[in-house]
Chain A
Amino acid sequence: MATQSLQPRAVPKPAVSDVHIIWITAGLSCDGDSVSVTNAEQPSIEDVVMGAIPGLPKVHLHNPVLAVEVGDEFMKYFYQAERGELDPFVLVVEGSIPNERIKSEGYWAAQGTDPNTGQPITTCEWIDRLAPKAWGVIAAGTCATYGGIHAMAGNPTGCMGLVDYLGKSWRSAAGLPVVNVPGCPVQPDNMMEAVLYLLYQAAGLSPMIPLDEQLRPTWLFGKTVHEGCDRAGYYEQGDFAHEYGSPKCLVKIGCWGPVANCNVTKRGWMRGIGGCPNVGGICIACTMPGFPDKFMPFMDQPPGATLSSLIVVSYGSLIRSLRSITNAAGNKEPKWRHRGSRLTTGYQPTSY
């Protein structure tokens, strides 16, 4: 047998050739989730848009922060999606959903102009028009997932999360619940990984995206901050910070890590760099439905932490002394490493 030709492994063709992403930033938003997405590298937005990931459909992104088109040229994709001309499309919503019903006129949030009335089209109206037609819907960032900062007590707009607006039992055209990817802003790679998963799903290459009871991807939000924090060792040893700038556990000066669902301590903010308590920033539980009201004032010790840290302090104190002894022993080399003329390693030479 001479040479065998190498057959390239065939990459399966995706179930759909093109997927459009219609991204609404016009909730009550700071646009931080769109900006975060430009920060992702695993995968990057250009990796996805330029087809650097095998097996995916061609992705057409319509996000106002990056779009080439302006004004009506940009809005035409919204109208096409509404008419069913862009199927399948994924609708991404960013920003809190305002309550336009609590007043008699005007608008809290809008995008584009109604050609009949000359008045702006509210964001809620766009959601009403587009969500029912979408293959899938992603709520990007805590404002869109659960209301977030703009929905705190005393707010004038009555805003809420997308699922509060559409209802928990809402399902997309393809039968998916809203996919909530919280974070304030959303951690860059968390968002792109969730988008990637949905693209694989749209391509027919993966099963339904696994979501927990708060509709978060389970593989991203299934752990607490504390379970991923590299300062947890200080907690276990009962060694707590009394001031900001300390390298020790921050639970007594405001950190909500033990009860917040988030992976930022585990994966860092980007490229393994940065984060929150792992780098000296108290966790303010910004991925959680109760954010921010249930966690303010942020610099106060969380009520539950008093008890748990009290218990761990006495355990920790004991453990630290024991560990110090073992650490000291481990910091000494075995006695037989010396220049002396007698071999004391335990080997009994017979030939020298």
Chain B
Amino acid sequence: MAHTKKSEISSHTPGTNRGEEMRQSKGPEPGREHGGRTARDSTSIGPKSKGPIDPRMPNMPPA
């Protein structure tokens, strides 16, 4: 393929999500709305009771 030839190979299937634009198009994930991570980032099963109980404690959900 000559270097100046316009490429015919598709680099994207129209209609599918581009992974890097997911956050822009679908918004942040629950649990990641404000930059950091809350318990909801790691679990959807009763997340409210899985977070820290004291405001002095940082949010440290699991991987």
Q: B7-31: contact bitstring with A at CB < 8 Å (1 yes, 0 no)? A: 0010111011111101100111100
Contacts of A301 in B (CB 8 A): 16-19
Q: How big is chain B's contact interface, by range? A: 20 to 34
Task: Please state if B45 and A241 are interface contacts (CB–CB under 8 Å).
Answer: no
CB distance from B37 to the nearest CB of A (A): 8
Task: Please state if B46 and A299 are interface contacts (CB–CB under 8 Å).
Answer: no
Contacts of B61 in A (CB 8 A): 247
- Most chain A CB within a 10 A radius of its CB, from B12, B15, B17, B29: B17
B49 within 8 A of A: yes
Q: Given A296-B11, A327-B45, A328-B49, are A244 and B19 also a contact pair (CB < 8 Å)?
A: yes
How many of chain A's residues have a CB under 8 angstroms from any CB in B? 31
Task: Please state if A300 and B17 are interface contacts (CB–CB under 8 Å).
Answer: yes
Closest B residue to A306 by beta carbon equals B16
A303 within 8 A of B: yes
CB distance from A158 to the nearest CB of B (A): 14
A189 within 8 A of B: no
Residue from the list A300, A320, A323 in contact with B12, Cβ < 8 A: A300
CB distance from A233 to the nearest CB of B (A): 10
Task: Please state if A282 and B13 are interface contacts (CB–CB under 8 Å).
Answer: no
CA distance A328 to B20 in the complex (A): 35
Stretch at the interface among A62-70, A129-137, A179-187, A248-256: A248-256
Task: Please state if B29 and A241 are interface contacts (CB–CB under 8 Å).
Answer: yes
CA distance A320 to B16 in the complex (A): 26
Task: Please state if A243 and B32 are interface contacts (CB–CB under 8 Å).
Answer: yes
Closest A residue to B62 by beta carbon equals A247
CA distance A306 to B17 in the complex (A): 9
A83 within 8 A of B: no
Task: Please state if B49 and A297 are interface contacts (CB–CB under 8 Å).
Answer: no
A324 within 8 A of B: yes
CA distance A194 to B16 in the complex (A): 38
Contacts of A279 in B (CB 8 A): 63
Closest B residue to A154 by beta carbon equals B1
CB distance from A123 to the nearest CB of B (A): 25
Closest A residue to B61 by beta carbon equals A247
Residue from the list A239, A300, A324 in contact with B16, Cβ < 8 A: A300
Task: Please state if B62 and A246 are interface contacts (CB–CB under 8 Å).
Answer: no
Residue from the list A237, A239, A300 in contact with B19, Cβ < 8 A: A300
CA distance A248 to B32 in the complex (A): 12
Task: Please state if A153 and B9 are interface contacts (CB–CB under 8 Å).
Answer: yes
CB distance from B7 to the nearest CB of A (A): 8
Residue from the list B11, B12, B49 in contact with A331, Cβ < 8 A: B49
A60 within 8 A of B: no
A242 within 8 A of B: yes
Q: Could you list which residues of chain A lie within 8 angstroms of chain B, going by C-beta atoms?
A: 153-154, 237, 239-244, 246-248, 252-254, 279, 282, 296-297, 299-303, 306, 320, 323-324, 327-328, 331
> 8 closest A-B pairs (Cβ-Cβ)?
A253-B19, A299-B19, A301-B17, A242-B22, A254-B19, A327-B46, A243-B23, A327-B45
Of the A-B pairs whose beta carbons lie under 8 Å apart in the complex, a sample of 28, sorted by A's number, is A154-B1, A240-B29, A241-B29, A242-B23, A242-B27, A242-B28, A243-B22, A243-B23, A243-B28, A243-B29, A246-B41, A247-B41, A247-B42, A247-B62, A248-B41, A252-B19, A252-B22, A253-B22, A279-B63, A300-B17, A301-B19, A303-B13, A306-B15, A306-B16, A306-B17, A320-B45, A323-B45, A324-B44
